[in-house]
Amino acid sequence: MGGNSQFNTYLNNQLSGELIDVRGRSFTLVSGGRAQWVVTGEIVRIGDMIRVYTRLVRRSDNSMISQIQTDMELNRSISAMFSAAESGESSSMVIADEWEPDSWDSPVEFALGTDLYDMPMRRTIHSDDHDWFLVEPDSAMSLVIQTTGSTDTYLTLHDADSREQLATNDDGGDGSNAMIRHFVRPGKRYIVEVRGYSSSSTGEYGITGRAEDMGDAIPYQLGRSSDARTVTQRLGSNDLFLLTPRSNGMMILETTGDIDLVMELLDGETYESIAEDDDSGQDYNARLVQEVEGGKSYLVRVRAVSSDSGGEYGFKGYLYGE
């Protein structure tokens, strides 16, 4: 049949199967130059219907012996297979998956898993394609989104309401796969955008999402201003420190180094945000001054302003006057 699409291949396979199963047939089904009869035709889309024209042609003189017209309803699966034929792509090109069309305003709802080995959702990236997923966490968590497969993917995490870009990543996962870790809160909506790294990056991929244990926070003992200990840490995408002041007082937190950092103070039990700072420290470092309660747990989240930043930084904290 004419045209190059997954749907075309499907129909050819179905027809071959039907011909092979004909009882008492006086013909042999072959491919290539030995065939005496050829089945050909066209596949066209008419509104919400697919029409298939099938013709039996004598090879010796190209005369048409018979023609059959078949109409079928256009459903999601057929639409996905038919899309390559409509766009003029060859059979080697990647076609739209069953979740298309999706968009920022109509994202695919994405359920979070429980661990690294959850079965990924399978999708495809075709020419000029961006896939969109909606994540609505039911608790505060360190969200981990990653892709799997051999397609070179690029991930972006957005705030669904403000449209703020929160994080991006190219090759943070295995091989050319992308991975994002980001702290998210309940009651908020997030959009995950997946695209190919370049226009030639097309193909199948998988995507998973899970909550990372907040218990991975690094314990830090607050000291006095004169002997506050500086911890050197290699920058991750969501570094957390756990602090428990010995007494009520004014807590000072600072970062050091050459990376432009943002620091956020969270309630250690509810994960509610208490304060945030970007450039109040030296150069591009962060500095927070906050009154705290003795015996209460706090989390400090440190991240880079730019997703391209890397390297080491210092973190220290103390209670003023101790």
Please indicate whether the domains covering 108-212 and 215-319 agree at the CATH topology level: yes
Domain boundaries, the chain: 6-87, 108-212, 215-319
Per-residue pLDDT at 26 exceeds 60: no
Longest dimension (CA), the chain: 101
pLDDT at 144: 87
pLDDT at 84: 47
DSSP 8-state assignment for residue 120: P
Mean pLDDT of 282-306: 90
Whole-angstrom Cα distance, residue 190 to residue 213?
19
CATH number of 215-319: 2.60.120.380
Q: Which CATH architecture group holds 108-212?
A: Sandwich (2.60)
Strand partners, 188: none
Per-residue pLDDT at 188 exceeds 50: yes
Q: Above pLDDT 90, what percent of the chain?
A: 27
Q: Using alpha carbons only, give the angle 110, 113, 115 rounded to the nearest 5 degrees.
A: 150
317 vs 64: which has the higher pLDDT: 317
Contacts of 3 (CB under 8 A, 6+ apart): 42, 43, 85
218 vs 8: which has the higher pLDDT: 218
Contacts of 258 (CB under 8 A, 6+ apart): 283, 284, 311
Per-residue pLDDT at 91 exceeds 50: no
Can you tell me which residue has the tokens 């059979």? 91
Per-residue pLDDT tens for 213-266?
666 788 998 877 767 788 887 876 568 899 999 899 999 999 999 888 889 898
pLDDT at 85: 46
Quick one: CA torsion of 134, 136, 140, 142, rounded to 10 degrees?
-20
